[in-house]
Chain A
Amino acid sequence: MTRFVERHPAWALIIIIAIAVALWLIFAVWPPGLEDAIGRKRVFLNAVFNGITLGGLYFLVASGFTLIFGLMRNVNLAHGSLYLFGGYVGYAISASTGSWLLSFIIAFILTALVGVLLQLIVFRRMEGQDLRQTMVTIGLSIVFADLMLWACGGDFYQIQTPNWLIGPVELPLITAVKSSGEPVYLRYPLVRLVIFVASVVIGVAMWLALNRTRIGMIIRAGVDDRDILAATGVRIQLVFVGVFALGAGLAGIAGVVGGTFQSLSPGEDIRFLLASLVVVIVGGMGSIPGAALGALIIGLAEQLGSVYIPTYAIVVTFLIMVLVLAIRPQGLVARR
């Protein structure tokens, strides 16, 4: 942090000012002139919160993707299929048992199993052949998409939100002050907050596991040099399988999340694959903090874009990707 400030004082100043402005926009009561210029504060705050919560969902998908890439140098383009598969499993479980939480557990286990099978049957046979692996995963994603279309049809499914999560909550953020002087607080959907908190918890847990545990140490060592790691006697294939299972399971969980606050249908697999690709390109391939930062930026860009420049909202995310590729091709939080 201090090194960054020393090296780039101008950039640091700009970033600090931007953060200060953002905080002021979020916490202060907007003067009337500002409301006239860019609309009501409620809309702005909602867009910011939606961006952050959507970022949470993107993070869940992208973190698995980036973890697998970081360790195995394997661009798994079937990652979107795992997302959709997890979502369908979650729907089936929640529709038959009525338990939302159970659907997460089963979706995690089943998609993790699919991930294990993928690693054992497919990727292990073509280790180190990047292009071949990539082509195979594209093929697999098409096969999976058709299989799921065959099994689940083209209908769209929505996982039922449990009753205790339906409806909005009031947050201690003032959006406006009534003429009587009474403040109006922001009302926000509870389910999105819960999902965001859950993704933060998962993110922090993953960071801790990677940086503070023995297994995390092995994985980090594997990312840096897997041949040396294998030579020290670590059963590297087991680590690969474990990481693949975790990454796939996270995509499965994300599927349940996506099915709850959006919906599941054919085509979602591609959408989330694309989103996680953009997220990891912006954040930096193979980095968990990078995935978090990238997800946050893309989520915010999508939501703020859809409110303030609706016509070009789709372009904004790709514009960011192009900018990052032009200025910092290794990603914002690259390891090297």
Chain B
Amino acid sequence: MLKCSVGLIALSSLFLSGAAIAQEKIRVGVTATLEGTYTVLGEDGMRGHQTALNVLGKKVGDKELEFIVASTDATPDSAVRAVRKLIEQDKVQILLSPLSGDEGIAVKNFAKTHPELTFINAASGAQETTYVDPAPNFFRYNMDGAQWQVGLGKYAYEEKKYRKIATVGEDYSFIYTQVFGLVLEFCGAGGQVTNRQWVPLGTKDFASVIAALPDDVDAIYLGLGGADAVNFLNQYQQAGGKAHLMGGSIMIDQTILSSKGNAKNALVGTIAASGQADTWEDPGWQKFVKAYQDAFPPNKRFPSPSLLATNYYGSTMALILALREVNGDLSNNQAKYRAALAKIELDAPNGKIKLDSNRQAIGTNFVTEVVDDGKGALFSKVVKVIPNVNQTLGYDPAVFAKIGLPSRTVPECKKY
């Protein structure tokens, strides 16, 4: 009897305290790819998110932020499932989601069915997400895959003197967008892209893909990420491959550069472009790297944050700073909060970020080259910094619209 009543009291006090706290909490749902091919990317994204919370704190006025994490596997249906669960079961008010390209398109479309909530893109980079029929409550503070390739095509053509290249990429929207950016610039400069190979996300056996790589090209561009990239490099080494390589933004990234084994050494000297460069000397970047390194023990993190960590950091930063600006006011279907998000200018670690009229980031891009630090660790070294890259890549919007949407065969290799 006594036990029972004590239990009841404990239970009711738990409910009471729960109700008391609920008034002061703002619930935020976060998704990351913690399963499947992109697991490592999702994990480092969450580290970037955590770093932002360490730096900025979880308080907004007298309210406390509560984060609920859900896992996805880079497929669009897994992302929608996770987001739906966060909204319907966990009653979140703001979403920080998703990580990967196809997920982004799906979540953007889903966002339209919940106009009362606000969605902040965590890291996904497909062009279509914000370029075609954007959702008014979906904000993206990272650049898209094409913006992340700005500078690479010209650098390859002019400095490296590559004239003919071939590409290998994962068969989904983000890599289409990356190849789109590369091809536009490289072909615009006068280069030729002779062959574009697409492999399913999660391919394990690349041997036939490697055999089908053409010999008569100056370099091969790799648009792979996560486990796919490591598998490719491992089998490329076994096949004795020796071509010059170029890399996409998640290929030349700490998620791959600090993978186990020595297959990654094939990447030394590879040129790439991304929304960040590991060795950038900017004090804001260095401060972020330090905060990231201090937040986790060396064996639980990469030597330097990956692009995903940086993106999650930036999007978490936008989420909190805009919320502070309106003092946690989410009334009127979050209208005030959205206005604050739209006009906020972020002083992100990887350069200044502001949004265009589609709520898509305009930011800084980096052309890099992979170097060995002498102790066996690989880093991306800055070659060129390009500020103010917008979604139409500097093209006139009308001309840009004519190129078409990124796909397996778009854009054509010509000067637009």
Q: Are B40 and A166 in contact (CB under 8 A)?
A: no
Of B201-209, B278-286, B389-397, which binds chain A? Answer: B201-209
Q: What separation, in Å, do the CA atoms of A302 and B207 have in the docked complex?
A: 11
- Shortest CB-to-CB span from B385 to chain A, Å, is 32
Residue A329 interfacial (CB < 8 Å): no
Partner of A167, one of B36, B197, B238, B261: B238
Q: Which residues of B contact A267 (CB under 8 A)?
A: 35-36, 73, 202
Q: Are A307 and B234 in contact (CB under 8 A)?
A: no
Partner of B205, one of A155, A166, A190, A303: A303
Residue A189 interfacial (CB < 8 Å): yes
Closest to A189 in B: B238
**Total of A-B residue pairs, C-beta within 8 Å:** 116
Residue A220 interfacial (CB < 8 Å): no
Residue A139 interfacial (CB < 8 Å): no
Residue A263 interfacial (CB < 8 Å): yes
**Range, interface on chain A:** 35 or more
Q: What separation, in Å, do the CA atoms of A168 and B241 have in the docked complex?
A: 9
Partner of B230, one of A156, A168, A310, A314: A156
Q: What separation, in Å, do the CA atoms of A314 and B209 have in the docked complex?
A: 15
User: Given A158-B230, A158-B261 in contact, is the A47-B211 Cβ separation under 8 Å?
Assistant: yes
Q: Are A166 and B237 in contact (CB under 8 A)?
A: yes
Q: Which residues of A contact B200 (CB under 8 A)?
A: 313-314
User: Given A189-B238, A192-B238, A263-B234 in contact, is the A156-B39 Cβ separation under 8 Å?
Assistant: yes
Q: Mark A305-316, 1 if CB is under 8 A from B, else 0.
A: 011001101100
Q: Which residues of A contact B36 (CB under 8 A)?
A: 265-267
Q: Which residues of A contact B360 (CB under 8 A)?
A: none
Q: Are A310 and B197 in contact (CB under 8 A)?
A: yes
User: Given A154-B39, A160-B261, A310-B197 in contact, is the A189-B208 Cβ separation under 8 Å?
Assistant: no
Q: Which residues of A contact B207 (CB under 8 A)?
A: 46, 50, 53, 189, 192, 303
Residue A330 interfacial (CB < 8 Å): no
- Shortest CB-to-CB span from B290 to chain A, Å, is 24
User: Given A263-B204, A267-B35, A306-B199 in contact, is the A191-B238 Cβ separation under 8 Å?
Assistant: yes
User: Given A43-B212, A303-B207 in contact, is the A189-B197 Cβ separation under 8 Å?
Assistant: no
Partner of A154, one of B34, B209, B212, B239: B34
Q: Which residues of A contact B205 (CB under 8 A)?
A: 50, 54, 261-262, 302-303, 306
Q: Are B240 and A155 in contact (CB under 8 A)?
A: no
Q: Which residues of A contact B261 (CB under 8 A)?
A: 158, 160
Q: What separation, in Å, do the CA atoms of A160 and B237 have in the docked complex?
A: 12
- Shortest CB-to-CB span from B213 to chain A, Å, is 9
Q: What separation, in Å, do the CA atoms of A159 and B14 have in the docked complex?
A: 49
Closest to B261 in A: A158
Q: Are B211 and A154 in contact (CB under 8 A)?
A: no
Q: Mark B291-323, 1 if CB is under 8 A from A, else 0.
A: 000000000000000000000000000000000
Q: What separation, in Å, do the CA atoms of A188 and B35 have in the docked complex?
A: 33
Residue B235 interfacial (CB < 8 Å): yes
Q: Are B208 and A46 in contact (CB under 8 A)?
A: yes
Residues B199-251 near A (CB distance < 8 A): 199-200, 202-205, 207-212, 226-227, 230-231, 234-235, 237-240
Residue A161 interfacial (CB < 8 Å): yes
Residue B375 interfacial (CB < 8 Å): no
Residues A2-19 near B (CB distance < 8 A): none
Q: Which residues of B contact A268 (CB under 8 A)?
A: 204
Partner of B235, one of A261, A265, A314: A261
User: Given A303-B207, A310-B199 in contact, is the A157-B238 Cβ separation under 8 Å?
Assistant: no
- Give the number of chain B interface residues (Cβ < 8 Å): 39
User: Given A157-B260, A158-B261, A192-B238 in contact, is the A262-B211 Cβ separation under 8 Å?
Assistant: no
Q: Are B235 and A189 in contact (CB under 8 A)?
A: yes
Q: Which of B202, B237, B240, B259 has the most CB of A within 10 A?
A: B240
Q: What separation, in Å, do the CA atoms of A311 and B197 have in the docked complex?
A: 10
Residue B162 interfacial (CB < 8 Å): no
Q: Mark B190-202, 1 if CB is under 8 A from A, else 0.
A: 0000000111101
User: Given A54-B205, A303-B205, A303-B208 in contact, is the A156-B199 Cβ separation under 8 Å?
Assistant: no
Q: What separation, in Å, do the CA atoms of A9 and B80 have in the docked complex?
A: 55
Residue B102 interfacial (CB < 8 Å): no
Partner of A187, one of B35, B204, B234, B240: B240
Q: What separation, in Å, do the CA atoms of A147 and B197 have in the docked complex?
A: 37
Residue A226 interfacial (CB < 8 Å): no
Residues B47-85 near A (CB distance < 8 A): 73
Q: Which residues of A contact B210 (CB under 8 A)?
A: 46
Q: What separation, in Å, do the CA atoms of A45 and B239 have in the docked complex?
A: 14
User: Given A262-B204, A302-B205 in contact, is the A154-B234 Cβ separation under 8 Å?
Assistant: no
Residue A42 interfacial (CB < 8 Å): yes
- Shortest CB-to-CB span from A141 to chain B, Å, is 16
Q: What separation, in Å, do the CA atoms of A167 and B241 have in the docked complex?
A: 9
Q: Which residues of A contact B369 (CB under 8 A)?
A: none
Partner of B35, one of A154, A191, A314: A154
- Shortest CB-to-CB span from B306 to chain A, Å, is 13
Residue B253 interfacial (CB < 8 Å): no
Q: Which residues of B contact A43 (CB under 8 A)?
A: 208, 211-212
Beyond A263-B204, A307-B208, 7 additional contacts (C-beta under 8 Å) are A154-B35, A156-B226, A156-B227, A189-B238, A189-B239, A189-B240, A303-B205
User: Which of B's residues lie within 8 Å of A, judged by CB?
Assistant: 34-37, 39-40, 42-43, 73, 171, 197-200, 202-205, 207-212, 226-227, 230-231, 234-235, 237-240, 259-263
16 of the cross-chain contacts (CB-CB < 8 Å) are A43-B211, A154-B42, A156-B259, A189-B240, A262-B231, A263-B204, A263-B227, A265-B39, A266-B39, A267-B35, A267-B202, A303-B205, A307-B212, A310-B197, A310-B198, A311-B198
